[in-house]
Amino acid sequence: MTTTTFKPIAARQAPVNTEGVIPWMRSNLFGDARTTAATFIFGGLMLWFIPQFIDWAIFRAYWLADSDACRAEGVGACWGVITEKYRLIIFGRYPFEEQWRPLVATLMMVTLLVASCTRAFWKPWLVVLWALMLSGFFAIMMGGIWGLEEVETSRWGGLPLTIMLATISIALSFPLSLLVALGRRSNLPAIRSLCTVFVELIRGVPLISVLFMASFMFPLFMPVGVTIDVLLRVLVGITLFQTAYMAEVIRGGLQAIPKGQVEAAATLGLSYCQTQRKIVLPQALAMVVPGIMNSFIAIFKDTSLVTIVSLYELTGALKMALGSDSDWRSFYIEGYLFIAMIYFVFCFSMSRYSSWVEAQANKGKQR
C-alpha cells in the first residue's frame, strides 16, 4: 500500500472584503431590512435634532456677559452666564481673593492622580508622595499656616471639593471593600455575619439618608463640645456607602474563581493570605475591573449629594450661583451643560483608563 504525502492548500484572501469602513457600514447599518429601517429612523431623528441644537448652542448664542441682551428674542444659548459665574461655580463659597489656593491644591491632586495611573509610579514611595500631597492639600486649603488666612471647611466648595471627596472616598473604600468581600466569604462565623450585616444595612438605605445620618445624627452621640468636622462626617458616609456596594462587586469576582485554584495553592503549601494575595485576588480583580470602575465613577457623581449638608460642591455651587442671582436665574440650561461637560471629562477619562487597566490585566489570557 502506497501512502500519499500531505499537500497543504495555500491560504487565500476572502472573496468579499469584510474589514474596513464600507464593509462595516454595509453589515452594521444596512445589513437586513430591520437594521436599514432603524438606520433611517435614528438617522432621521439625529438629522432633525442635532442641527437645531448646534444652532441654539453655537450659531445663535450670545457669548458676552450681558443678561439683558441674552433675554432678547431670537438669541440662543447664553454662554455669558459661564464667563460671569464660572468662579463661583468652580470654587463655591471660597473667599474670592484666596481662590488661587484651591486652584493650586486641586492641580497638585489631579497631577498626582494622573501620575499614579501610570506604571512608572507604581513603586513603594508613591505612598509617601500621596501622604505629602494630602497634607499639602489640606494645609493650603485650610490655611492658618505659612501666612495663609484660615478658611473653615464649610466654605470649601465647587470642583476642588468634588475632586477631593471623590479621591479620598475611592482611595479608602477600595481596600475596605476588599476586606469586607473576603470577610463575607470567611469560614469564621463572626466575621462573616458582621460583614453581611454591614453590607445589607448600608445597601438598604439611600446615600442621602446615610449622609443625613452621618451629618446630623452622628454628632448627637458625641460628648458635649466635641464636634467632628463636617467634611470628615461626609467622607465617612460616602466611603462606607460605596464600600458596601464595591464589596459585592468584588465578591462576585471572588466567586468566579474555580475552586481548583485554591486547592492547587493549598497543595503547594500557600497560606490563606498568600493564596488570596497571589492567586485569587489578582484573577478576581482583573475580572471585575468594569464593575469597580463603575463604582468609582458612581462615587465621583455621588459627591453631588453633599449639598444636603450644606457643602456646595460643583452641582450645589451651580444652584447657589444661579439661584441667588435674579439676573441669571433663567439660564440654568447653560449652567448645567457646563458642569455636565466637566463631569463628563472626568468620568470619561476614568472610563478610558478602565479599558487600559482591563487590557493590562488580561494580557495573560491572549492566546
Partner 1 sequence: MSDPIITFDKVNKWYGNNFHVLRDINLSIAKGERIVICGPSGSGKSTLIRCINRLEEHQEGRLIVDGVELGDDVKAIDQVRKQVGMVFQQFNLFPHLTVLENLTLSPMWVGKLPKSEAVARAMEQLERVQIAEQAEKYPLQLSGGQQQRVAIARALCLTPKIMLFDEPTSALDPEMIKEVLDVMVELANQGITMICVTHEMGFAKAVADRVIFMDQGQIVEENTPEEFFNNPQNERSKDFLSKILGH
What residue ranges bind partner 1 (CB under 8 A)? 258, 260-261, 263-264, 266-271, 274, 278-279, 282-283, 286, 363-367
Cell of 225: 463640645
Closest CA to 241 of 269, 273, 201: 201
Cβ-contact 145, 157 below 8 angstroms: no
What φ, ψ does residue 296 adopt, rounded to 5°?
-60, -45
- Give the Cα separation of 254 and 248 in Å (integer): 10
Considering the complex, state which of residue 52 and residue 271 has its C-beta at the smaller distance from partner 1.
Answer: 271
Cβ 352 to partner 1 shortest distance, Å: 23
Considering the complex, state which of residue 47 and residue 268 has its C-beta at the smaller distance from partner 1.
Answer: 268
Considering the complex, state which of residue 130 and residue 272 has its C-beta at the smaller distance from partner 1.
Answer: 272
Cβ 282 to partner 1 shortest distance, Å: 5
Distances (CA, A) of 354 to 121, 122, 220, 252, 361: 17, 16, 41, 18, 10
Cβ 351 to partner 1 shortest distance, Å: 24
User: How many separate helices (H) and strands (E) can be counted in the chain?
Assistant: 16, 0
Considering the complex, state which of residue 20 and residue 258 has its C-beta at the smaller distance from partner 1.
Answer: 258
Q: Any bridge partners for residue 158, and if so which? A: 313
Cβ 272 to partner 1 shortest distance, Å: 10
Considering the complex, state which of residue 124 and residue 269 has its C-beta at the smaller distance from partner 1.
Answer: 269
30-48 core/surface letters (b: 16 or more CB in 10 A; e: else): eeeeeeeeeeeeeeeeeee
Q: Please return the burial class of 303, using the count of CB atoms within 10 Å of its CB with bins 0-12, 13-18 and 19+.
A: buried
Cβ 250 to partner 1 shortest distance, Å: 16
Considering the complex, state which of residue 200 and residue 263 has its C-beta at the smaller distance from partner 1.
Answer: 263
Cβ 357 to partner 1 shortest distance, Å: 14
